[in-house]
Structure 1
Amino acid sequence: MTLSPQEQFKQFLEKSKDILILIPENPSGDSVGSAWALYFFLQKKGIKSSIAFSNHLSPKYNFLPKPEKIMTEISGARDFVLSFDTTYNKIEGFRTEEVDGKFNIYLTPEKGSINPRDFSFILAKFKYDLMIVIDSPDLEKLGKIYEKNSDLFFEVPIVNIDYRSDNDNFGQINLVDVTASSCSEIMHQALSHINPDLIDKGISDCLLSGIISATESFQKKNTTPKALQTAALLMDAGADQQTIIRWLYKTQPLHVLKLWGRAMTNLSWDPRTKIAWTTISVEDFVQSRASQNDVLPILEKIQENYTEGQVFVALYNDTPLSTVAIIKTSSSELLKKIYSVANGDLRKDYLQISLQIKNISEAGNLLLEKLKAI
């Protein structure tokens, strides 16, 4: 009898001793909520785990309990073994020394000198026996974590957790539910199947934060009756909805507020095409002490304030010779349509386009011509 994906997931967890949890670079609230919840759930089961992602984590998630093992790059995942055949010549002793950037190993043989042919160099197994990839339709969305550790993904089993219809089903186990509102909803169902008694207030806060983030506080079309039922169960378990909403939507760092003000000053609006766009200069970043990672939250704020808008664009120089455009839309269908014309990197709910144009105004005009023609 074939086991269900949830039952397979349960068995994989119970057999694992060291798990690596992976989420996309610049993770969303749904990524963070589901990954954090899984980490603390595994901790309660006595299973060692770590979380890895590249780039930026928004400070608005600081209210959640924070895992101890968070990495922005994977290090020490695999040992390199220096093996010596002692069949005919034993090793009496050894010592190590690090000098001038070199790590030297000194061996003392039992008899005479050492034959170099008795040495071999072996790559040991990876220390992780399971990887769980959350909220990523493909491995490339993991960014540098995947690029720099591609061997890891071919040798260690993968559990793939997602709710997108375009997911590549790249895992040995694929917990992909296109009817779910979020990865956090899927995670709640999976953890409840394993042991619902382990889902405490901290885990519930993480999961509810993920659902609220993915549904924009139950306002988006993906807010299904099942999502609302899951949210109710999490609140029964102690999740604080009001605190979560206050942190996710009402509490903004000063540098974000400053950058938001500058972006609004530069904002333009076309009522005919319903396109709102703004430019953010290097000076804007410097004066507000913000970074490029703050552009997407700013664009989301603009979208909230222009409810009639259909396309929202923020442009900034990522290098002295190029411009980046971040695009959000009122519907996923429109975003895919823009992607088919403008290409770029299609993320979860926005499109990022790199233009090899130095002048930000020139780059904006070129892009707007394409958008207005759609």
Structure 2
Amino acid sequence: MDFHSATQLIQKSRTVGIAVYEKAGGDEIGSALALASVITQMGKTAGFLFSGTIDEKWKDIFGAPAVPAATSPRELQPRDLIIAINAKESPISEIKYDMQKSSGELFIRITPKHRPVNKEGVRIFEDGNRYDCIVSVGVHGPEHFGKEFEENPFLFYEKPIVNIDASHQNEQFGEINLCDMTRSSCAEIVYELIESLTGGERLNPTESTRILTGIIEKTEAFRNSKTTPRVLEISALLIESGGDKDKIMRALFKTKPLNLLQLWGRASVRSRFDDALKALFTFIPKEDFEKTATKTSDVRFVIDHTGSYFVSPKFHAVFFENPEKNHVRVIIKSDASLMKKIVEKEPGDIQNGLCVFKNAFSGFPEAERHVDNILRGLEE
């Protein structure tokens, strides 16, 4: 990865916008905030571009609001006012402006060639803050910039972007792409970028805790295959610099709501292990959601909680019945390389470390047979 070019770009920039996906987790947000802090200490202005909300469990670590005043993008003033006209429907012949000295008003006259300019075809908005460059953290593609992109499209098209991501879904849209799916997390990549920016200077406890949060979240507390020797080395250095591992662990594994534990308990007794496939199959009928007052979105908790207490199988396939649509959906957790092979065979997406099937099934037997065939096909 070209850390040298990224370092040069940031060093020559006076203002840096750090963009995070609106549904980002602890890894992306912690990494972005740590990087913003380091850039601010370099005597630059850092703007945190994030339109989402911080997950409740991370608020004690990141604070609420999550953005320190020193890195607020709203402080970067002034901003240009842009008038956008649909010139395809109403070609423009001439643009004039006139300043009225008496009133101080500026009049802008737009003369169309053929058709009158329709008011509905005119948009007025502020340009993005005057960032010299953008650093995106965990953003797979431009469409994931969310609200910030919708409000400031010119910002992302006109400024050079340093694209940081550890996902194979990344579209390599940056001028400089620091993307490596073999890395444990965005935090690991950001740590190495900060090393390059600071010449290896020791991070403060707050920055260390924020980066360590991303590593612990993505390695599931150093228990999955992403826990490489390099990850352990970086984590040890962060803890030595004041990274609060215990605080992160408490946030990650704090007491869970009773109804979620009830759903997990019901799912556990409806699970079976396939020795040949090294796969755990879990079944959740609609009655389990209804009796525990939970939702299908809580399937993620079942998967995560199982991984917190047991050694992760090669595959964990969860089959769940939607109470409203009366069909069965499938989510599989496995190594990134295996999930990539699955989506090559089956329509689906990899979302937040899970393989989510797009197709629905009429019942559990049909879904189980289908998944069984796919997993056995991977062994061939």
TM-score (normalizing by structure 2): 0.72
Judged with a 3 Å threshold, the aligned counterparts in structure 2 of structure 1 residues 29 and 89 are, in CA distance, closer, same or farther, namely closer
> Equivalent of 2:252, from 230, 248, 251?
248
Q: Does 1:236 align with 2:244?
A: no
CA contact (8 A) 2:184 2:231 kept: yes
% identical equivalent positions: 25
Q: Distance in 1 between the 2:151 and 2:329 partners? A: 27
CA contact (8 A) 2:27 2:213 kept: yes
When structure 1 is superposed on structure 2, of 337-346 and 80-89 the one drifting more is 80-89
Size of the aligned set, in residue pairs, is: 345
CA contact (8 A) 1:276 1:309 kept: yes
Judged with a 3 Å threshold, the aligned counterparts in structure 2 of structure 1 residues 58 and 274 are, in CA distance, closer, same or farther, namely farther
> Equivalent of 2:195, from 188, 192, 197?
192
Q: Does 1:260 align with 2:257?
A: no
Deviation at 1:325, TM superposition (A): 2.0
Q: Which residue of 2 aligns with 1:327?
A: 332
Q: Which runs of 5+ in 1 are unaligned?
A: 95-106
Q: How does 1:97-176 map to 2 (within 5 A)?
A: 117=111, 125-127=127-129, 129=131, 130-139=133-142, 142=144, 151-152=153-154, 153-164=156-167, 167-176=170-179
Q: Which residue of 2 aligns with 1:61?
A: 58
Q: Does 1:227 align with 2:231?
A: yes
Q: Does 1:47 align with 2:34?
A: no
Judged with a 3 Å threshold, the aligned counterparts in structure 2 of structure 1 residues 321 and 334 are, in CA distance, closer, same or farther, namely same
Matched letter for residue 127 of structure 2: K
Q: Does 1:182 align with 2:185?
A: yes
CA RMSD of aligned residues (A): 4.2
Q: Distance in 2 between the 1:367 and 1:5 partners? A: 47
CA contact (8 A) 1:182 1:210 kept: yes
Q: Distance in 1 between the 2:177 and 2:15 partners? A: 17
Instruction: For residue 340 of structure 2, give the secondary structure of its aligned residue in structure 1.
Output: helix
> Equivalent of 2:313, from 287, 309, 312?
309
Instruction: For residue 127 of structure 2, give the secondary structure of its aligned residue in structure 1.
Output: strand
Q: Which residue of 1 aligns with 2:7?
A: 7
Q: Which residue of 1 aligns with 2:217?
A: 213
CA contact (8 A) 1:8 1:173 kept: no
Deviation at 1:161, TM superposition (A): 1.0
TM-score (normalizing by structure 1): 0.73
Q: Distance in 2 between the 1:169 and 1:298 partners? A: 33
Partner deviation per Cα, 1:316-338 (whole Å, 9 max, x = no partner): 42862665422112x33332222
Instruction: For residue 205 of structure 1, give the secondary structure of its aligned residue in structure 2.
Output: helix
Q: Distance in 2 between the 1:3 and 1:92 partners? A: 53
Judged with a 3 Å threshold, the aligned counterparts in structure 2 of structure 1 residues 265 and 224 are, in CA distance, closer, same or farther, namely closer
Q: Distance in 1 between the 2:329 and 2:36 partners? A: 34
Deviation at 1:68, TM superposition (A): 2.9
Deviation at 1:184, TM superposition (A): 0.9
Instruction: For residue 367 of structure 2, give the secondary structure of its aligned residue in structure 1.
Output: helix
Q: Which residue of 1 aligns with 2:103?
A: 92
Instruction: For residue 209 of structure 2, give the secondary structure of its aligned residue in structure 1.
Output: helix
Q: Does 1:32 align with 2:29?
A: yes
Q: Distance in 2 between the 1:288 and 1:274 partners? A: 29
CA contact (8 A) 2:96 2:109 kept: no
Matched letter for residue 7 of structure 2: E
Q: Which residue of 2 aligns with 1:296?
A: 300
Q: Which residue of 2 aligns with 1:104?
A: none
Q: Which residue of 2 aligns with 1:16?
A: 15
Q: Distance in 2 between the 1:341 and 1:161 partners? A: 28
Instruction: For residue 171 of structure 1, give the secondary structure of its aligned residue in structure 2.
Output: coil
Deviation at 1:186, TM superposition (A): 1.9
Matched letter for residue 5 of structure 1: S
Q: Which runs of 5+ in 2 are unaligned?
A: 68-72, 86-94
Q: Which residue of 2 aligns with 1:98?
A: none
When structure 1 is superposed on structure 2, of 118-127 and 274-283 the one drifting more is 118-127
Matched letter for residue 164 of structure 2: I
Deviation at 1:274, TM superposition (A): 3.3
Q: Distance in 1 between the 2:174 and 2:8 partners? A: 12
Judged with a 3 Å threshold, the aligned counterparts in structure 2 of structure 1 residues 165 and 341 are, in CA distance, closer, same or farther, namely closer
Deviation at 1:351, TM superposition (A): 0.7
Deviation at 1:199, TM superposition (A): 2.9
Deviation at 1:81, TM superposition (A): 4.3
CA contact (8 A) 2:263 2:292 kept: yes
